[in-house]
A = this chain, B = another copy of it.
């Protein structure tokens, strides 16, 4: 590659990634692709990946294009060729790693949810605030903000095309736990995952609701349920969301499903549902927002499409229009294919990498910040608190003042 690399290439930004399973593969794809598609001010270099199993991490490095492999995340954080640490581990290790990385002078990208508890998230947000003073940036990986249709929905709302928001409804349904013999992976253990559908799926939809509406949730009323309370203990390794189990069984310690209603700061009503027990729904994140002047609707299983209803249209010609969010003027699309050529799930990680690289180069705070991630964590905690108290409406502490949100 050296023969073409000299002429005016931008400076390198060394990335080190910790964890290399499903999220690690997706992040790798993002880091590899971003500079091939976008004009970036810094050139991400896949410097090293860390994981505990030496052979496995070495294979992962080879597969995903990381130049080196480490078996100790502290060693990765300490590397001179790493300026940005990308955390793709389960939630129970996020706080320790992120704080250590920031204190070691690295920028940080941390997978969602930010942490497994509000206390951890607060510590992380505080660490991010301190690091900010030293020019270090921290971002949480709510990648669905980077679906072009979602980013464009935010733009429409920010431009006032919906008027004041009145209703937000978001449902995130999967079905990989319908089979009662699906085994007890770490995602079903409270000590590792923090919570179940709530933290995994609910975190996404809470973040999207707040991001799209441009205002925080101020209270929730919730119910949680674990439909299958015992599952086979894990036999061997899991991959992605698939795994196989043995004959012994153990208790599921997280929720299978979470349903909650809420209020946004403006008084808008929000309804949320997250479940891993919805047969036929594979990755069905569906959202709709109704405002005074229009509505938008989105379905992650058709992620190139945004439905938009403009209530200012005469009734005879009005209707939800299906916008194929593949035009050059749509967010992120200037760099991709001609109109109508579909993007997929993994593109969100390339967009995330782009936005973070741009922020690092310019020294501006990327979104969602750790403070945003903390706010989501507070909502999740309020959900659990409400579910433990007969669904009573439970306020979510909101930082004052509400941070202004940049438009895409």
Contact = CB atoms under 8 A, between A and B. Distances in A.
Interface of A: 1, 3-5, 7, 9, 22, 26, 28-29, 32-33, 36, 58, 61-69, 152, 156, 166-167, 169, 171, 173-176, 178, 221-223, 225, 227, 240-242, 257, 259-261, 263, 267, 269, 271, 273, 275, 277-284, 288, 290-295, 300-304, 308-311, 315-324, 326-330, 337-347, 390-393
Identify which of A58, A310, A319 gathers the most chain B CB atoms within 10 Å of its CB. A319
A225 B267 contact: yes
B320 A322 contact: yes
Contact of A301 (B152, B340, B347): B340
Contacts of A227: 166
A47 to B, nearest CB: 11
Contacts of A301: 304, 324, 340, 342
A342 B341 contact: no
Given A167-B278, A392-B391, A62 B261 contact: no
Nearest to A313: B321
Given A62-B5, A280-B309, A176 B345 contact: no
A271 B259 contact: yes
Nearest to A35: B63
Contact of A282 (B1, B29, B171, B324): B324
A278 B259 contact: no
A265 B150 CA distance: 38
Q: How many copies does the complex hold?
A: 4
10 contacts: A4-B66, A29-B33, A221-B261, A223-B393, A225-B267, A242-B328, A260-B261, A271-B271, A341-B346, A390-B392
B324 A321 contact: no
B263 A261 contact: no
A37 to B, nearest CB: 8
B319 A3 contact: no
Given A221-B391, A225-B269, A339 B283 contact: yes
Given A290-B277, A391-B221, A282 B169 contact: no
Contact of A346 (B242, B323, B337): B337
Contacts of A346: 337, 341
Nearest to A306: B319
Nearest to A326: B282
A280 B66 contact: no
Contact of A344 (B58, B339, B343): B343
A69 B62 CA distance: 26
A281 to B, nearest CB: 7
Contact of A290 (B9, B176, B279, B315): B279
Contact of A68 (B3, B288, B302, B310): B3
B316 A319 contact: no
Contact of A340 (B7, B66, B283, B310): B283
Contacts of A1: 65, 67
Contacts of A152: 316
Contacts of A390: 221, 392-393
